[in-house]
Amino acid sequence: MPTETVYGLAGMAFDETALARIFKTKERPQFDPLILHMTSQILGGPPFFAGLVQAHLIDLQRLGPAARVQAERLLRTFWPGPLTVVLPKRERVPDLATSGLDTVALRMPRHPVAQALINAAGQPLAAPSANRFGKMSPTSAQDVMEELGDRIDFILDGGPTDIGLESTIIEIAPEGGITLLRAGGLPIEKIEAIAAAPVQVGQTVAARAEGSGIKAPGGLPSHYAPQKILMRLPAPVSRLKTLADFWNPAESLPEHLGLLTFSRDLGSVQRAFAHLTGRKVTAVGLSTRSDDTEAARNFFSALRALDRSEASLLFVEPCMQSGGLWDAIADRIRRASSQRG
Ligand code: TXA
Ligand code: MG
User: What is the percentage of the chain residues whose pLDDT exceeds 70?
Assistant: 93
Q: How much is the pLDDT for 222?
A: 61
Which residue's CA is minimally distant from atom 21 of ligand 1?
A: 216
In the structure, ligand 2 is a single-atom ion and the residues with CB under 5 Å from it are 129
**Cβ(281)–Cβ(269) below 8 Å:** no
Q: How much is the pLDDT for 340?
A: 40
pLDDT at 204 over 50: no
Q: Give alpha helix (H) positions in 47-98.
A: 48-54, 65-78, 95-98
Q: How far is the CA of 280 from the centre of ligand 2 (A)?
A: 33
Ligand nearest to the CA of 7: 1
Confidence of residue 206 (pLDDT cuts 50, 70, 90): very low
User: What is the percentage of the chain residues whose pLDDT exceeds 90?
Assistant: 89
Would the CB of 147 count as within 6 Å of ligand 1?
A: no
Tell me which DSSP letter residue 45 carries.
S
Confidence of residue 223 (pLDDT cuts 50, 70, 90): confident
Would the CB of 124 count as within 6 Å of ligand 1?
A: no
What would the pLDDT profile of 60-99 be if each residue is shown by its tens digit?
999 999 999 999 999 999 999 999 999 999 999 999 999 9
- Counting other chains too, the contacts that 245-250 makes at CB distance below 8 Å and 24 or more residues apart are 246/315, 247/277
* Pick from 40-49, 193-202, 253-262: least confident: 193-202
CA–CA dist 290, 292 (Å, integer):
6
CA–CA dist 283, 27 (Å, integer):
32
Q: How far is the CA of 138 from the centre of ligand 1 (A)?
A: 14
Would the CB of 35 count as within 6 Å of ligand 1?
A: yes
More confident of the two residues 202 and 143: 143
Instruction: Over range 292-315, report the average pLDDT.
Output: 97
Cis peptide leading into 47, omega within 30 of 0? yes
| Mean of pLDDT over the chain | 93
Q: How much is the pLDDT for 214?
A: 52
Confidence of residue 210 (pLDDT cuts 50, 70, 90): very low
> Of ligand 1's atoms, which has the minimum distance to the CA of residue 8?
6
Q: How far is the CA of 254 from the centre of ligand 2 (A)?
A: 31
CA atoms within 13 A on the CB side of 200: 12
Name every residue whose Cβ is closer than 8 Å to that of residue 91 and which is 6 or more positions away in sequence: none
pLDDT at 211 over 80: no
Q: How far is the CA of 137 from the centre of ligand 2 (A)?
A: 6
Strands (E), the chain: 11-12, 35-37, 83-88, 103-107, 125-126, 168-172, 178-182, 199-201, 230-232, 256-261, 280-285, 313-316
CA–CA dist 219, 21 (Å, integer):
23
What would the pLDDT profile of 1-30 be if each residue is shown by its tens digit?
999 999 999 999 999 999 999 999 999 999
Tell me which DSSP letter residue 245 carries.
G
pLDDT at 205 over 70: no
Residue 290 sits at the vertex; the CA angle it makes with 285 and 291, to the nearest 5 degrees, is: 105
Would the CB of 28 count as within 6 Å of ligand 1?
A: no
CA–CA dist 138, 316 (Å, integer):
20
Q: How far is the CA of 326 from the centre of ligand 2 (A)?
A: 19
